[in-house]
Amino acid sequence: MTAAGRGMRWPRPLSLAGFKSSSGRTLVTNDAVKMHTELPGATRTLPPQKSFYLKTFGCQMNVYDSERMMEALASQGYAETENLELADLVILNTCHIREKAAEKVYSDLGRIRDIKIARQANGRDTIITVAGCVAQAEGAEIVRRQPAVDLVIGPQSYHRLGELMTRAKQERKAIIETEFTENAKFEVLAKARKRSTPSAFLTVQEGCDKFCTFCVVPYTRGQEFSRPTAEIVAEARKLVDAGASEITLLGQNVNAYHGAGDSGSTVSLAGLVRALAKIDGLARIRYMTSHPRDMDDDLIAAHAEIPQLMPYLHLPVQSGSDRMLEAMNRKHSAAEYLALIARVRAARPDIALSSDFIVGFPGETEEDIAQTLDLIRKTGFAQSFSFKYSPRPGTPAAGLGQQIPDGVKNERLQRVQGLLEEQQMGFNAGSLGQTMAVLIERVGRDTTQLVGRTPYLQLIHVTGPASLVGQIVDVTVTGFRQMSLTGQLSTDIAAA
């Protein structure tokens, strides 16, 4: 499958096709609001409500951050608009993981600058903000390349967005804020959570200390940091009270989680999952993304013991060649990965596995690719994501010799994706005729159609009433494709 293929994903541009709203929230126009005061006959014209436009690229952690920023802006009186021309504030929450994602930001900024100039001619100000990993990685360079940008804000400073916007306006010069302040963002922004979708994200860990040689994350998100357990449990409770039945715990290295527990203790991800499983009404817990090195016995055991922990594991391996794994600094071999998968399967035989793969890493040979295909065949993935290696500035692999030509990368990617797609099709075919518990997440495009997820994270379309959104219902799988299933509600629910 390609990176753009799937709902629960790491770094695919979540960018909304064209310039559309990033959520289903109420949108406003910028018309002045007229209000009658108590005095008969008097009409007071209030200033128009401020609007913001926000576009999110990259991984689910950016989605989480964008949601928190939207809540903070709403509490400051801003309303979301999907029309850039009406936006007093534009925020691009960006991703730096591959060159394509980062460069898309600059082409968007060019269009936004033109709109800013047109608005200026009509006496309207626009604050252009670049947030996220490009902001962190490139800082002042962004303003050099696009001087219309007013504010560059790294992922650790979103709780200061309001104050920094005011400064940018007052000082009439670009503000660059890329300090690392760890938990402050969460402490401040998580308090505002009042709404939830049936399936919600909750960031529990940020940053990474692994330094894989291809990857920018340790530089853009900084050192590994875990939020305190009590704070996470409190946020999860709020989400459940607001209607969530499923929570996906997020982290760049989520299974390295080691948060502060009660009285000086340290809690692992397994411990956190156990604490969350005690929350009444939280039916499903998921976590992503994990590193093979941090997959400990306790977490594996949790998959066998905790019914709320869904039978799905995203465990990126990147390559099946030990030579490549070593050059990537992944710190495990292909055999160790396979042994780990065997342990996970022994604990939870039905677990659905997924992975990320990089093809065309510097020095990769045909033999290396053959070993990757071999590891894929030996493991059997329910879904996976594969990428062409993209040299990133400042990472060790970008400076290596033997960079692979794009044509060769394309051809290798096709072979790897072909096999992964075949495996996904096979996994979905195996679901045919089974009855599964499906969390109904939303109404589909056709209003009689519902969209949900199976325990194995397969997308499934079912015909049924909108009143089922948020419920977990039994569905019998009647059809499948590579990317999704179709199913029928069990007869007693359909008749109710």
Minimum distance from residue 156 beta carbon to ligand SF4 (Å): 16
Counting runs of H as helices and runs of E as strands, what totals does the chain give? Answer: 15, 23
* Region near ligand SF4 per CB under 6 A, out of 12-20, 161-169, 208-216, 476-484: 208-216
Footprint (CB under 6 A) of ligand F3S, residues 79-108? 95-97
- Assigned token pair, 385: 């994501």
| 235-254: contacts with ligand F3S (CB under 6 A) | 252
Dist. CA 348–CA 311, nearest whole Å? 7
Task: Decide: 84 and 90 in contact? Cβ < 8 Å.
Answer: yes
Residue 385: exposure state from Cβ atoms within 10 A (0-12, 13-18, ≥19)? buried
Q: Which stretch binds ligand SAH (CB under 6 A): 30-38, 155-163, 212-220, 403-411?
A: 212-220
- The answer to whether the CB of 97 falls within 8 A of the CB of 57 is no
- Going by DSSP bridges, is the β-strand pair 79-80/51-56 parallel, antiparallel, or unpaired? parallel
| 356 counts as binding ligand SAH under rule CB under 6 A | yes
The rounded distance, in Å, linking the Cα atoms of 316 and 386 is 10
Instruction: Select the residue whose beta carbon is closest to ligand F3S and give its number.
Output: 58
DSSP string over 415-460: HHHHHHHHHHHHHHHTTTT-EEEEEEEEE-SSTTEEEEE-TT--EE
Binding of ligand F3S by 10 (CB under 6 A): yes
- Which contacts of 298-302 are long-range, i.e. CB under 8 A and separated by 24 or more positions? 298/268, 298/270, 298/271, 299/255, 299/268, 299/269, 299/270, 299/273, 300/343, 300/344, 300/347, 301/270, 301/347, 302/270, 302/273, 302/274
Q: What is the Cα–Cα distance from 427 to 438, expressed in whole angstroms?
A: 17
Binding segment for ligand F3S among 216-224, 254-262, 272-280, 454-462 (CB under 6 A)?
216-224
Q: What count of other Cβ atoms lies within 10 Å of the Cβ of residue 465?
A: 15
Q: Does 62 bind ligand F3S (CB under 6 A)?
A: yes
Binding residue for ligand SAH, selected from 392, 412, 453, 461, defined by CB under 6 A: 392
389 binds, among ligand F3S, ligand SAH, ligand SF4, none (CB under 5 to 8 A by kind): ligand SAH
Distance separating alpha carbons of residues 376 and 225, to the nearest angstrom: 32
What lies within 8 Å, CB to CB, of 234 at 6+ separation is none
- Counting contacts by CB under 6 A, is residue 461 touching ligand SAH? no
Confirm or reject binding of residue 318 to ligand SAH (CB under 6 A).
yes
| Number of residues engaging ligand SF4 in binding (CB under 6 A) | 10
- 458: Cβ–Cβ under 8 A, 6 or more apart, which residues? 352, 382, 428, 431, 484, 485
Bridge-based pairing of strands 352-359 and 383-388 is: parallel
Q: Which is nearer to ligand F3S, 58 or 487 (CB)?
A: 58
> Measuring CA to CA, how many Å separate 338 from each of 293, 342, 361, 387, 422?
12, 6, 21, 21, 20
Between residues 97 and 299, which has the closer beta carbon with respect to ligand SAH? 97
Q: Does 12 bind ligand SAH (CB under 6 A)?
A: no
Taking CB within 5 to 8 Å according to partner kind, which of ligand F3S, ligand SAH, ligand SF4, none is near residue 159?
Answer: none
Of 212 and 440, the one with the shorter C-beta distance to ligand SF4 is 212
Region of 143-151, 210-218, 304-312, 434-442 interacting with ligand SAH (CB under 6 A):
210-218
Among 141, 211, 418, 429, binds ligand SF4 (CB under 6 A): 211
Residue 355 vs 454, nearer CB to ligand SF4: 355
Q: Going residue by residue from 113 to 152, which x/- string records binding to ligand F3S, judged by CB under 6 A? A: -------------------xx-------------------
Asked if 320 is part of the footprint of ligand SAH (rule: CB under 6 A), the reply reads no
**CA quadruple 252, 253, 254, 257: dihedral positive or negative?**
negative
Residue pair 269/299 in contact by the 8 Å Cβ criterion? yes
d(CA 277, CA 476): 27
CB of 452 to ligand SF4, least distance (A): 29
User: How many CB atoms sit inside 10 A of residue 469's CB?
Assistant: 18
Residues 6+ apart with CB under 8 A from 492: none
Given the complex with ligand F3S, which of 101 and 165 has the nearer CB atom?
Answer: 101
Q: Which does 98 bind (CB under 5 to 8 A by kind): ligand SF4, ligand SAH, ligand F3S, none?
A: ligand SAH
Region from 66-74, 212-220, 371-379, 450-458 binding ligand SF4, contact rule CB under 6 A: 212-220
Taking the CA of residue 380 as centre, how many other CA atoms within 13 Å lie in the half-sphere pointing to its CB?
10
Residue 268 within binding range of ligand F3S, rule CB under 6 A:
no
Q: Does 319 bind ligand SF4 (CB under 6 A)?
A: no
Q: Which of these segments, 59-67, 156-164, 359-367, 476-484, binds ligand F3S (CB under 6 A)? A: 59-67
Give the residue with the Cβ less far from ligand SAH, 259 or 316: 316
Of the candidate residues 22, 253, 383, 428, the single one contacting ligand SF4 (CB under 6 A): 253
The yes or no reply on residue 208 touching ligand SF4 (CB under 6 A) is: yes
Residues recorded for the chain: 496
Interface residue list for ligand SF4 (CB under 6 A)? 208, 210-212, 215, 217-218, 252-253, 291
Give the residues lining the site for ligand SAH (CB under 6 A).
10-11, 97-98, 214-215, 217, 252-253, 289, 291, 316, 318, 356, 358, 387, 389-390, 392
